[in-house]
């Protein structure tokens, strides 16, 4: 049965985005907020709002006991975790289930399995999905890692199984560096993820990062919503995304989406998910990881398919069947997203502070998802995302032109933003030609000196 009240366990733009989806479905919303977010847009938009703790996330947005208590007190039947914070926390998903609340996402067991990268690699490999050549189990603590790595060939990446998003990852180019890198990564993994498992993968040089949006219902129906290209990154974090990917032709799209559908069937997935892949220079693709949640960049898929992904998440969590068959899902035109961060466009260092002036762009084909307003404080406690600008065009060129225009009109004062970096990328001839890889931001940074 459809929910009448949903608690949104997040803040900022994604909390606002989820509240909008609930409003469209006629569902009441409950916001939670920390002391740093009193009066924030997501609090103002919700039907009801509860303070959950002091500014640091581990005392507020990650405070599971308090959030569950608020869910019960407010009469919510379901919890939407958004992305980040508790979104990929299997313990939280389990706790919701135990407390009689619906967690809007996949089952806790799927989140747990996909959160351990070694386990995810093993499952994907067993399902016949190509994975980056590497170790199929955790590296034993006392064995010499060199023989395996020599089989793979240097350079390799030493990775923490519990890691992700670039955290707990080291490039090793020579045999001499290997033992130390394994030891350090193990220590970091223990400290950061509570588990010392590490593994190695061959380093795919100058890859493109392409991901497939997938959706499944509890009856085992599965569809994909095409791919997104996410190669414009800094510090392994995405900055600009586009859909479709300029690197993916019809044949590759068929192989990529078929592999993604196969992968999520193999793990019994339910709800929205993303299969992230690396694309080598020779158009070979490898499974990288599975994100068991709503992605930051989901809006570009919405722009080309016309599908509201968050509404669909809620319907599937309420037990409905997938609202579309694969044949009913079509992609039209091209979409680009720029993540506008409060950060220095040259050093990428955060730029906290109060936003003293704020005016969003508005034009045909332009969407701005934001949780920010004039007077908003960009604090050190949370990520630096001010807003996401999404543009759609009949073709790639129009989408990019609309983006450049929109970003130039976006007025933000009081903090530094990375809009100059976005404009540099959008005007780069190789970006314009669609011929770029994950090294593009570093290359443009160097060319500016």
Partner 1 sequence: MTEVRSSMAGTVFMISVEPGYVVQPGDVVVVLESMKMEIPIEAIEGGTVTEVRVQPGEVVQEDDVLLVLK
Residues making contact with partner 1 (CB under 8 A): 56, 235, 342-343, 348-350, 352, 378-384
CA angle (17, 19, 20) in 5-degree steps? 65
What is the smallest separation between the CB atom of 382 and partner 1, expressed in angstroms? 7
Q: Among 95, 293, 339, 402, which one carries the catalytic annotation?
A: 293
Alpha carbon distance 285, 304 (integer Å) = 23
Query: How many CA atoms are closer than 13 Å to the CA of 395, on its beta-carbon side?
Result: 4
Q: Is the peptide bond before 212 cis (omega within 30 degrees of 0)?
A: no
**Exposed/middle/buried for residue 323 (C-beta within 10 Å: 0-12, 13-18, 19+):** middle
What is the smallest separation between the CB atom of 343 and partner 1, expressed in angstroms? 7
- Closest to partner 1 by CB, 62 vs 304, is 62
- Closest to partner 1 by CB, 83 vs 154, is 83
HEC profile of 30-92: EEEEEHHHCCCHHHHHCCEEEEEECCCHHHCCCCHHHHHHHHHHHCCCEEECCCCCCCCCHHH
Whether 293 is a known active-site residue: answer yes
- Closest to partner 1 by CB, 6 vs 232, is 232
What is the smallest separation between the CB atom of 383 and partner 1, expressed in angstroms? 4
What is the smallest separation between the CB atom of 335 and partner 1, expressed in angstroms? 25
Q: How far is CA 259 from the centre of its chain?
A: 20
Alpha carbon distance 184, 168 (integer Å) = 9
With tokens 């890859």, the residue in question is 207
Instruction: Report DSSP state, residue 382.
Output: S
What is the smallest separation between the CB atom of 184 and partner 1, expressed in angstroms? 12
* DSSP H helices in 272-409: 298-305, 309-317, 396-409
- Closest to partner 1 by CB, 56 vs 323, is 56
- Closest to partner 1 by CB, 59 vs 177, is 59
Catalytic residues: 293
């Amino acid at each position: 049965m459809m929910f009448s009240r949903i608690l949104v366990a997040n803040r900022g733009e994604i909390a606002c985005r989820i509240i909008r989806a609930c409003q469209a479905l006629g569902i009441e919303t409950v916001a939670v907020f920390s002391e740093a977010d009193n009066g924030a847009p997501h609090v103002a938009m919700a039907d009801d709002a509860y303070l959950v703790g002091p500014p640091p996330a581990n005392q507020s947005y990650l405070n599971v006991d308090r959030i569950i208590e608020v869910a019960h007190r407010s009469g919510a039947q379901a919890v939407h975790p958004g992305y980040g914070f508790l979104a990929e926390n299997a313990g939280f998903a389990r706790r919701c289930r135990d407390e009689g609340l619906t967690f809007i996402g996949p089952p806790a067991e799927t989140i747990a399995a996909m959160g351990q990268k070694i386990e995810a690699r093993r499952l994907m490999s067993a399902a016949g999905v190509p994975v980056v050549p590497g170790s199929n189990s955790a590296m034993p603590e006392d064995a010499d890692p060199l023989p395996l790595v020599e089989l793979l060939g240097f350079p390799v990446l030493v990775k923490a199984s519990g890691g992700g998003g670039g955290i707990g990852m080291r490039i090793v180019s020579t045999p001499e560096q290997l033992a130390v890198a394994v030891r350090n990564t193990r220590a970091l993994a223990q400290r950061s993820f509570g588990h010392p498992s590490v593994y190695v993968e061959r380093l795919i040089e100058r890859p493109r990062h392409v991901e497939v949006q997938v959706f499944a219902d509890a009856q085992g129906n599965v569809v994909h919503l095409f791919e997104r290209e996410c190669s414009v990154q800094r510090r392994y974090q995405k900055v600009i995304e586009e859909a479709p990917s300029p690197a993916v032709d019809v044949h590759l799209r068929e192989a990529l989406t078929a592999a993604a559908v196969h992968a999520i069937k193999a793990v019994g997935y339910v709800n929205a998910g993303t299969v992230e892949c690396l694309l080598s220079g020779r158009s070979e693709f490898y499974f990288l990881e599975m994100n068991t949640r709503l992605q930051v960049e989901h809006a570009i898929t919405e722009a080309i398919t016309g599908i509201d992904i968050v509404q669909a998440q809620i319907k599937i969590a309420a037990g409905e069947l997938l609202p579309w068959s694969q044949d009913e899902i079509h992609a039209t035109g091209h979409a680009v997203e720029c993540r506008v961060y409060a950060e220095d466009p040259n050093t990428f260092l955060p730029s906290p502070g109060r936003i003293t002036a704020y005016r969003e762009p508005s034009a045909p084909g332009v969407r701005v998802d934001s949780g920010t307003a004039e007077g908003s404080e960009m604090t050190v406690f949370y990520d630096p995302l001010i807003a996401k600008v999404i543009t759609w065009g009949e073709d790639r060129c129009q989408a990019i032109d609309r983006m450049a225009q929109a970003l130039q009109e976006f007025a933000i004062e009081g903090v530094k933003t990375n809009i100059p970096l976005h404009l540099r990328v959008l005007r780069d001839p190789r970006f314009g030609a669609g011929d770029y890889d994950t090294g593009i931001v570093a290359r443009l940074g160097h060319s500016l000196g």
